[in-house]
């Protein structure tokens, strides 16, 4: 059994500059400025929050799972993880985490994975890739599916087995657990609050999350 380390935050939600609840299944995007701190709260527990980050100045620079994993020498994201870009720059740094482990291997659900993983008649169910594309379209610049790199799944538990397999397990999160990160540059945050109804990682029950931003200092 892995020991998970929790790091709490001292930031007061009453002093945040942005505070909203994102309903289950919805997409969201927001520019978090350098120095601001961004928190995602898993309100009801075991929700998967599919997330991507782009440099706001140049969205062709974006989150890189492989660089992040290689540089920290581990596959799970938690406090201390530097979320690196495709150019090797730090987009954000995780500064607090009361869940203890987040996935960046499992990817996002899509029409294709719906039919391959579940059933042919699940193909056109609501999915994260469509949420990402709808949000990305707001920023123009011709960004499409090609602009969706491998994402982060906050609060999702995808352990690697001893023989190297990926397993989608019940979450390790719980109601009220949160992850918090400080932007090291202006970052466009793209979220799909996963609408998936066919995966045990969220107990087949998508739930809302709370999103907060605090100013620097």
If one asks whether residue 32 binds Zn ion (CB under 5 A), the answer comes out as no
If one asks whether residue 209 binds Zn ion (CB under 5 A), the answer comes out as no
Tell me if 206 sits within 8 A of 195, measured CB to CB: yes
The tokens of 198 are what? 């066919």
Q: Collect all residues with Cβ–Cβ distance below 8 Å to 95 and sequence separation of at least 6.
A: 7, 9, 37, 79, 180, 181, 182
Q: Which has the closest alpha carbon to 105: 172, 42, 161, 47? A: 161
* Contact range with Zn ion by CB under 5 A, out of 66-74, 85-93, 108-116, 143-151: 108-116
If one asks whether residue 194 binds Zn ion (CB under 5 A), the answer comes out as yes
If one asks whether residue 202 binds Zn ion (CB under 5 A), the answer comes out as no
Binding to Zn ion in span 124-153, by CB under 5 A: 128
If one asks whether residue 47 binds Zn ion (CB under 5 A), the answer comes out as no
Strand partners, 182: 37, 93
Q: How many chain residues touch Zn ion (CB under 5 A)?
A: 4
If one asks whether residue 37 binds Zn ion (CB under 5 A), the answer comes out as no
The tokens of 45 are what? 């527990």
Q: Which one among 196, 201, 208, 211 touches Zn ion, defined by CB under 5 A?
A: 196
Query: Which residues of this protein are in contact with Zn ion, per CB under 5 A?
Result: 109, 128, 194, 196
């Amino acid at each position: 059994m892995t020991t998970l380390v929790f790091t709490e935050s001292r930031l007061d939600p009453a002093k945040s500059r942005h505070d909203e609840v994102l309903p289950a299944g919805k997409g969201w995007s927001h520019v978090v400025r350098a120095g601001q701190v961004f928190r995602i709260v898993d309100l009801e527990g075991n929700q998967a929050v599919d997330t991507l980050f782009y440099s706001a100045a140049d969205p062709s620079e974006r989150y890189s799972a492989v660089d992040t994993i290689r540089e920290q020498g581990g596959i799970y994201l938690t406090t201390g993880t530097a979320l690196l870009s495709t150019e090797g720059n730090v987009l954000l740094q995780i500064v607090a985490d009361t869940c203890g482990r987040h996935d960046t291997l499992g990817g996002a659900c899509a029409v294709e994975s719906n039919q391959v993983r579940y059933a042919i008649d699940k193909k056109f169910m609501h999915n994260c890739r469509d949420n990402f594309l709808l949000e990305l379209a707001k920023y123009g610049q011709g960004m499409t599916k090609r602009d969706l790199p491998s994402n982060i799944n906050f609060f999702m538990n995808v352990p690697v087995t001893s023989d190297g397999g990926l397993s989608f397990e019940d979450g390790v999160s719980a109601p009220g657990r949160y992850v918090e990160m400080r932007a090291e540059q202006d970052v466009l945050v793209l979220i799909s609050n996963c609408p998936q109804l066919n995966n045990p990682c969220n107990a087949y029950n998508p739930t809302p999350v709370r999103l907060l931003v605090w100013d620097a200092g």
